[in-house]
């Protein structure tokens, strides 16, 4: 009985932590080659994430997932795939790491636009 209750509470806590990141986000990205400020229009439906990147490589589509407070997505840009992963810290803040072709690893912070 207690095991069933504990299992249910764990499952519910995952649902409560799930965030909806739908909206426009401003990113601050730091790489070894410099910094950038791309914007993202994100659309979340359940755990599925889609949207649009707009930045130094132009405008490009993205696909990914949101599970609990974890976010992962890939931008399909002309120079290859830009891979982002991170943590949703609140309804308006998130941060993480990215991998860019030819540049390498990066860190990022993002704020949801009002």
What letters, b where the CB count within 10 A reaches 16 and e where it falls short, cover 47-82? Answer: eebebebebebeebebebebeeeebebbbebeeeeb
Q: Where are the domains of the chain?
A: 19-112
Q: Over the chain (114 residues), what is each successive 10-residue block's mean pLDDT?
A: 49 55 98 95 98 93 98 92 97 96 94 95
The domain made up of 19-112 has a fold known as Lipocalin (2.40.128)
Among 85, 65, 56, smallest CA distance to 21 is for 65
């Amino acid at each position: 009985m207690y095991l069933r209750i504990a299992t249910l509470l764990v499952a519910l806590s995952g649902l409560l932590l799930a965030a909806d990141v739908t909206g426009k986000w401003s990113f601050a990205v730091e790489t070894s080659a410099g910094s950038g400020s791309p914007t993202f229009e994100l659309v979340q439906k359940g755990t599925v994430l889609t949207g649009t990147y707009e930045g130094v490589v132009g405008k490009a589509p993205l696909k990914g997932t949101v599970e609990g407070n974890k976010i992962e997505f890939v931008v399909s840009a002309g120079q290859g795939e830009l891979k982002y992963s991170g943590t949703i810290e609140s309804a308006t803040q998130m941060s993480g790491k990215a991998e860019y072709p030819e540049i390498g690893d990066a860190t990022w912070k993002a704020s949801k636009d009002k």
